[in-house]
Structure 1
């Protein structure tokens, strides 16, 4: 086959690994390795070890777009453009929800896939790619490659009927409640008018009564009665004296028997 992927003058006497299948690494004692494959002649030891880990993730269908992007970078830098295109094709075989969750990476990898297809002259696969992948992979009409089928023009959906702008209905403003009037304090009442004539008549009637009471006090008629004298309370007799108890020393001591 032609040297489609060879670049930068690294291995011009060696053919690139053909696609479209991804070259899967094999298991080794220290991980995954590509030793003994056609890719081992194009990369150094460290790059080959990293590429083996990435290619294993691509073959296993990892859901991280960075794995496919990094593997495509290493392969394209080493002149392995067919394998880089196979890695990008493997990304677009993932479920739709994974690509929708990484929309930025999906658009970037789709444009890169389209550029590699144009450079290698490879038409997009029919029937295996989803609508989003085909839409990203197909070249534009201005960049169409001779010998490849032209893409069908996209069918525009029918335009929706124009909506008539209706004036917005402003709801009526709620009526404000009338303010509660402040309580009016009661009007102070005026004192009743003084009847001086009635007061004079009352004073004339009370004057002889007061004079009679004063005369009774002078005669002693209104003196309070004397209170009767009460007999004195009986006094308790003093307690009888109790003689002290005789002690042992006060008792007579009998003489001894021998001295009688």
Structure 2
């Protein structure tokens, strides 16, 4: 059975953010992930993680103005200094929380964007981020996100992400493979994972298409979990789904998938 991390941005959000760490531990999770920690003092989060013997597997670098609809700035020309400031902030939090992975969101491209310039900007920013993070033992992740949920996002396909990873050429840059996004965009999850496994740094799951519990929808997560075990994947699997009827009420999927 893979190592599961509760995504406490989506899960346990019946509770205030810091209390979700305890709720995750009480539900059997050994790790949590979340979108952003920056509204809270890093030491307060670290204290809750330590108190409940829970690790933080992942969070995102600052994404620009999230409330205004921005979804990352790493591929946006003219925002490189802001991106670099965000790298420093993310490293500071990752050091405090003991976080091994930080995700650099590419961003939404304007309709008139120069795609080649955006790609070059993304590659330059990722090189900088990876080099800065390498000094602290931190892996930088990039994630293809489906165009249905996030129209206009720069990065949508697995081969696109891995081509960028190869061009950046930094060993601590890896791809975050969200099986939910991958199924929506291209399917063939198992064979794609087999192809790219050494370069996949983190996995996320959710039921497709509703993004509820992983035992719902069209993806056979029991099969995929067996595949991860067979191939020796030792990273975290983030449970980034929206509980259909309350987080705790929906956690029976963990036992059901373990039994298959």
Same fold (TM over 0.5): no
Greater fraction strand: 2
